[in-house]
Amino acid sequence: MSDKNELSVLNELFAGENALTTQTADELRELDAMSTSSSFLQRLQLYSKGKSGPNGTLIEGGHYGVPKSAENIVDLGNSLDLLVIARKAKAIDMSDTDNIIVSNDTKSDEFKRIVDMADNVKDSGCAYGPTYLVYERSTRSFYEFFCGNKSGRYESSKINTFLPVTTAMIEAGVTNETEPRFAKPMTLKSKYTKKGKWEWFSPVAEECLNPIDLPTADQLRSEIERFAKLEVPEVEAVTEPTSKRKR
């Protein structure tokens, strides 16, 4: 039997109702999730400048990407559709990449120290701001999106309007809405700015016109629980989308 004919016979063993292995769609999705599961929430990041590797460009400036490793970034383009599920405060000190410090407690001395360093010390390696749990339409995956610089914190006030509205928010008077609701779909784009010798990309939040397939209630519960936990720093430092001097 030729290799071609043998391959054809083997292919038939895994096709149709009489396939040697049969698993339901739910079982296959559960098994796939196990292969990609992690104690860390994947990070969604706006790259203010392009990044290259041994095999060429990893991602262009102004694009959103998901860093898998130093040499592997999933490029999601300069516009993506999201559900903004939850938020919390975050301060991170990356001045020593072997000892990254993260705090989610705004009242702690550590958080206040990082804020002071970020605001007052040039190239401190520190950043702070709201960080969000988001669900991205094209990948159908959950990510963390950190608004840790000035442009991100500025746009976060608009991002907040796409968050779910809870009864507690209504009672606290932190929203003008009067009825609880789920997250509103949001499109996240990037905006290029140049002032003198400085140029940078910043996030821009807009109303989303594309339908987004919703995650399940169980997925939401699991990801919100993971997001709410106090953070343990990732190995790779966050690259902040800050302004850069053009040489």
Check pLDDT > 80 for residue 136.
yes
pLDDT at 201 over 80: yes
Query: Model confidence at 197, in pLDDT bands (50, 70, 90)?
Result: confident
Q: How far apart are CA 80 and CA 223, in angstroms?
A: 20
The token pair at 214 is 């919703």
pLDDT tens-digit readout, 158-178: 999 999 999 998 999 988 999
Plot region of 129 (φ>0 → left; ψ -120 to 50 → alpha; else → beta): left
- Helix, strand or coil, per DSSP, at residue 153: helix
pLDDT at residue 244 above 50? no
Q: What whole-number distance in Å separates Cα of residue 133 and Cα of residue 146?
A: 9
Pairwise CA distance, residues 128 & 156, whole Å: 12
Every domain of the chain and the residues it spans: 40-235
Residue 229: band (very low, low, confident or very high) from pLDDT cuts 50, 70, 90? confident
Greater confidence (190 vs 233) lies with 190
Are 87 and 130 in contact by the 8 Å Cβ rule? The answer is yes
Q: Report the C-alpha gap between 214 and 229 in whole angstroms.
A: 23
Q: What is the DSSP letter of 93?
A: E
Query: Does the pLDDT at position 240 exceed 50?
Result: no
